[in-house]
């Protein structure tokens, strides 16, 4: 075990390089995926068949074929047509196209989910279709799509592992090297698991932040947010104080006025968190 730790410490700079490759692929791939998703998703909601149909075909194609095959195609087949892309560009491109297609469907369905009344109010104000989308519909759809996009982007992070097949040395590739130099399979892959998990956790935190911001822009809060929990605790405290006061009142009135004496054991304000 000590040997493993020593090897790991010596290996850290290399591992860090791998982590950097994974982060670059994830960040660039995510940005690309979201941009592609917005373009394709908006096209799929267009009233014009000239936009809708091609967008739908592209989405179905990239959703329906494997990420690995798309990656190989970009890396091995495109050069046959004279387009030589470096491995990093191939990796980012394949991730962006593949996950972009999935996210496009999320974008499309979120836009369709925005209340019809919002579209109607925008029409009633004679806003142009572009203005209507940018100012009214998309900001509301954005809040709806973030949770699903967050899940897909975490999958993208994990999907970056396939790039080691096209000569890129990412976290998974470095893990394999670590395993060879330590000879301890469990140790190497456990280290890798923890790092992937940490990256996914960071990504999720970022998406949670975006979700909170989008929700508060709509004047809403995420359910069970910190503010909600604080509010519930405040209500529970106020409730306890009220119950105490009622109990002492009841005790003071004991015998004097039976008809107004409140039952101290009963929560006088049901539904206000008396049980918290």
Partner 1 sequence: MPPTENTPTTASASSSPAIEFTDVEKSFGPTTVLKNLNFTVAPGERVTLIGPSGSGKTTILRLVMTLEELTDGYIFVDGQPLTFENRGGKRVELPKKRTREMTTRIGMVFQQFNLFPNMTVLENIIEAPVHVLGKSKAEASKEAKELLERVGLADKADAHPTRLSGGQQQRVAIARALAMSPEILLLDEVTSALDPELVGDVLGVLRDIAETTDITMLLVTHEMQFARDVSHRVMMFDGGQVLEEGPPDQIFNNPQHERTRSFLSSVL
Binding footprint of partner 1 on the chain (CB under 8 A): 115, 117-118, 120-128, 131, 135-136, 139-140, 217-220
The 3-class secondary structure across the chain, one letter per residue, is CHHHHHHHHHHHHHHHHHHHHHHHHHHHHHHHHHHHHHHHHHHHCCCCHHHHHHHHHHHHHHHHCCHHHHHHHHHHHHHHHCCCCCHHHHHHHHHHHHHHHHHHHHHHHHHHHCCHHHHHHHHHCCCCHHHHHHHHHHHHHHHHHHHHHHHHHHHHHHHHHHHHHHCCCCHHHHHHHHHHHHCCHHHHHHHHHHHHHHHHHHHHHHHHHHHHHHHHHCCCCCCCCHHHHHHHHHHHHHHHHHHHHHHHHHHHHCCCCCCCCCCCCCCCCCCCCCCC
Shortest distance (Å) from residue 115 CB to partner 1: 8
Of 139 and 274, the one with the shorter C-beta distance to partner 1 is: 139
Residues 6+ apart with CB under 8 A from 266: none
Minimum CB distance to partner 1, residue 151 (Å): 23
- Nearest residue (CB) to partner 1, 220 versus 233: 220
Minimum Å gap between C-beta 10 and partner 1 is 53
Q: Please say which residue, 141 or 171, places its beta carbon nearer to partner 1.
A: 141
Q: 132 or 243: whose CB is closer to partner 1?
A: 132
CB of 192 to partner 1, least distance (A): 41
Output 131 or 233, the one with its CB closest to partner 1.
Answer: 131
Minimum distance of partner 1 from residue 267's CB (angstroms): 26
- Judged by CB, which is closer to partner 1: 77, or 115? 115
CA-closest candidate to residue 40, choices 102, 123, 104: 104
| Smallest separation, CB 236 to partner 1 (Å) | 24
In this structure, what token pair is assigned to residue 14?
Answer: 């290399």
Closer to partner 1 by CB, 132 or 174: give it. 132
CB 212, min distance to partner 1, A = 14
């Amino acid at each position: 075990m000590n040997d493993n730790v020593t090897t790991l410490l010596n290996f850290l700079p290399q591992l860090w390089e791998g982590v950097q490759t994974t982060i670059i692929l994830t960040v660039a791939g995510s940005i690309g995926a979201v941009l592609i998703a917005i373009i394709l998703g908006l096209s799929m909601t267009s009233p014009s068949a000239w936009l809708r149909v091609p967008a739908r075909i592209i989405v179905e194609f990239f959703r329906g074929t494997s990420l690995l095959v798309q990656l190989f195609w970009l890396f091995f087949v495109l050069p046959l047509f004279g387009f030589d892309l470096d491995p990093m560009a191939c990796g980012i491109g394949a991730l962006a196209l593949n996950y972009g297609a999935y996210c496009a469907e999320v974008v499309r369905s979120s836009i369709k989910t925005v209340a019809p009344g919002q579209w109607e109010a925008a029409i009633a104000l004679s806003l142009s279709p572009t203005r209507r989308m940018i100012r009214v519909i998309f900001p509301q759809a954005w809040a709806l799509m973030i949770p699903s996009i967050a899940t897909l982007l975490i999958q993208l992070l994990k999907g970056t592992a396939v790039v080691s097949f096209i000569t890129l040395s990412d976290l998974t590739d470095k893990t394999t090297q670590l395993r060879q130099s330590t000879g301890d399979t469990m140790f190497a892959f456990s280290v890798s698991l923890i790092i992937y998990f940490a990256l996914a956790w960071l990504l999720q935190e970022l998406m949670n932040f975006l979700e909170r911001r989008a929700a508060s822009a709509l004047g809403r809060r995420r359910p069970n947010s910190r503010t909600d929990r604080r509010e519930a605790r405040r209500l529970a405290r106020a409730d306890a104080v009220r119950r105490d006061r009622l109990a002492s009142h009841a005790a003071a009135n004991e015998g004097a006025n039976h008809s107004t004496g409140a039952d101290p054991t009963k929560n006088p304000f049901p539904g206000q968190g008396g049980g918290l």
